[in-house]
Amino acid sequence: MAHINGYVVAAGEKKKASQPSWNWVLINATGESKALDVDKYAVMHRVQIHARDLRIIDPNLSYPSTILGRERAIVLNLEHIKAIITSDEVLLRDPSHENVIPIVKELERRLPVGNQAHHGQGDGKESSAAHNDADDGEEDESPFEFRALEVFLEAICSFLAARTTELETTAYPALDELTSKISSGNLDRVRKLKSATTRLTARVQKVRDELVHLLDDDDDMADLYLSRKLSCACSMASSPNCYLTSPTIGSKISRASVATVRGDENDVEQLEMLLEAYFIQIDSTLNKLTTLREYVQDTDDYISIQMDNRRNELIQLEVVLGSGTVCSAFYSLVAGIFGMNIPYTWNDNHGYMFKWVCIVTGAICVFSLVFIMSYARFKGLMGS
C-alpha cells in the first residue's frame, strides 16, 4: 500500500486507460480512510449504481442539490459535497478540496461511534458515557447511512449559514453607507452584493427544496433505509451467512432487523426527525437571506425616492429659469420696439409712454414669475 495525501491507497485498484480517473476517499464504518483513484466503471461496480446516477455528482456537469435513494446506495450532491453512501462505507469525491477536508475528518470521528459504543470494551467511564448517549437519543442505534448523511447535512447547512453570515456582515454596512451618501462607488458595491445575495439564496433554496421533497414523500425516505432493505433481502434469501462477511454489516443489520420487527418497514420516523432538524436550520438561513433581500429592496426604493426628489428639484429649477427667460423677453420686446428708427406720431410729446410701458411690462413679468413658481411648487408637493 502507498500513502497519498495522508490516506492509504489500496494496491490492486487499476484504472482503465480509456476512462479518466476520479479522486475519491473511502471511509468505512470503523472510521478508516483510504484514497481511491478509479474510473466511473469501478465505482459503478463497487456500489452497484447506474451511470446516470454518477452524472449527478460529476463536477463537469451542473446539477442542483440532490439526495437520491437507490437499492444499495444513496447518491448525494450538495454543493461541494458529492458522495455515495452505502450500508457500510462512504465514497466522497475530491478529498483534497479545502471545504471537503473538514468533512473527511468529521466522518472519521463520528462514523465509528455507534460500533464502538455497541461493541466497545473500554473502561467504566466510556461504557457509562456510551450507555447515557444510547439512553438519551439512541444515537448508537442509528444506521451507518444515517450517521453519514447527518454529517453531510450538518456540513452543508453550516457552510451555507457561514456564507450567509459573511454576506450579512458586508451587506448591511454597505447599504447603510449608500443611504447616507449616494455615489457611483457605493452603487457598484451594492450591486455586487445584491447579485451575491441572489446567487446564495438560490443555492440555499435548492437544498431546502430537496429536504422538503424528501419530507413530503415517505417512499423516497424509505429508499434511504439501506440497512433495512439489506436486512429484508437477507431474510428473503433465508441464508444465515448472507451478511457474515463483515462484522460491521452484521451488527448493523441485526439492529435494523430488530427495528423492522418492532415496527412497520415503511416507518420513516427516525429519518424524518433527522431531516426536519436540518430543514429547520436551512430554513432559518433562507429566512436571513430573505430578510437581507428585503432590506436591499427597501434601500433600492429609498434611493429611487431620493433620485425622484432630486429630479423634481431639477425640473423646478428648469421651470424657474424658463420663467425668468420669458420675463426677460418682455423687456427685450419693449426695448426693441422703442429702439427702432421708425417715426411714430404718438412718440412726439409723449415721453411718459416709455415709462408706463416699462412699469406695466415689469408688473406682468413679476406676476407671471410668481404664478409659475407657485404652480411648480404646488405640483411638486402633490407628486405630479
pLDDT tens profile 62-85: 888 899 988 889 999 998 999 999
Q: How far is CA 370 from CA 19, 324, 325, 364, 381, in A?
A: 85, 10, 14, 10, 17
Q: Please say if the pLDDT value at position 130 is more than 60.
A: no
pLDDT tens profile 262-284: 445 567 888 999 999 999 999 99
Higher pLDDT, 327 or 244: 327
Mean pLDDT of all residues in the chain? 76
Per-residue model confidence (pLDDT) at position 291: 95
**Range with lowest mean pLDDT among 123-132, 273-282, 343-352, 358-367:** 123-132
Q: What is the 3-state secondary structure (H, E, C) of the chain?
A: CEEECCEEECCCCCCCCCCCCEEEEEEECCCCEEEEEECHHHHHHHHCCCHHHHHHCCCCCCCCCEEEECCCCEEEEECCEEEEECCCEEEEECCCCCCCHHHHHHHHHHCCHHHHHHHCCCCHHHHHHHHHHHHHHCHHHCCHHHHHHHHHHHHHHHHHHHHHHHHHHHHHHHHHHHHHCCCHHHHHHHHHHHHHHHHHHHHHHHHHHHHHHHHCCHHHHHCCCHHHHHHHHHHHHCCCCCCCCCHHHHHHHHHHHHHHHHCCCCCCHHHHHHHHHHHHHHHHHHHHHHHHHHHHHHHHHHHHHHHHHHHHHHHHHHHHHHHHHHHHHHHHHHHHHHCCCCCCHHHCCCCHHHHHHHHHHHHHHHHHHHHHHHHHHHHHHHCC
Per-residue model confidence (pLDDT) at position 348: 61
**Range with lowest mean pLDDT among 97-106, 225-234, 238-247, 351-360:** 238-247
Q: Please say if the pLDDT value at position 209 is more than 90.
A: yes
At 341, the pLDDT band (50, 70, 90 cuts) reads low
Tell me whether residue 26 is exposed, middle or buried, using C-beta atoms within 10 angstroms of its C-beta: 0 to 12, 13 to 18, 19 or more: buried
Higher pLDDT, 327 or 246: 327
Percentage with pLDDT > 90 across the chain: 30
Query: How many angstroms separate the CA atoms of 284 and 282, rounded?
Result: 5
Per-residue model confidence (pLDDT) at position 356: 73
At 325, the pLDDT band (50, 70, 90 cuts) reads confident
Q: Please say if the pLDDT value at position 174 is more than 60.
A: yes
**Range with lowest mean pLDDT among 90-104, 212-226, 235-249:** 235-249
pLDDT tens profile 34-68: 888 888 888 888 888 888 888 888 877 888 889 99
Per-residue model confidence (pLDDT) at position 244: 40
**Mean pLDDT, rounded, for 110-115:** 69
Can you read off the three cell numbers belonging to residue 306?
A: 431620493
Per-residue model confidence (pLDDT) at position 85: 93
pLDDT tens profile 3-46: 444 444 444 444 444 455 678 999 998 888 888 888 888 888 88
Per-residue model confidence (pLDDT) at position 205: 95
Can you read off the three cell numbers belonging to residue 378?
A: 404646488
Can you read off the three cell numbers belonging to residue 8?
A: 492509504
Per-residue model confidence (pLDDT) at position 195: 93
Identify the CA nearest to 70 among candidates 81, 57, 80.
57
Q: Please say if the pLDDT value at position 208 is more than 50.
A: yes
Q: What are phi and psi of 63, to 5 degrees?
A: -120, 145
Per-residue model confidence (pLDDT) at position 349: 61
Per-residue model confidence (pLDDT) at position 310: 84
At 343, the pLDDT band (50, 70, 90 cuts) reads low
Can you read off the three cell numbers belonging to residue 67?
A: 439526495
Per-residue model confidence (pLDDT) at position 167: 94
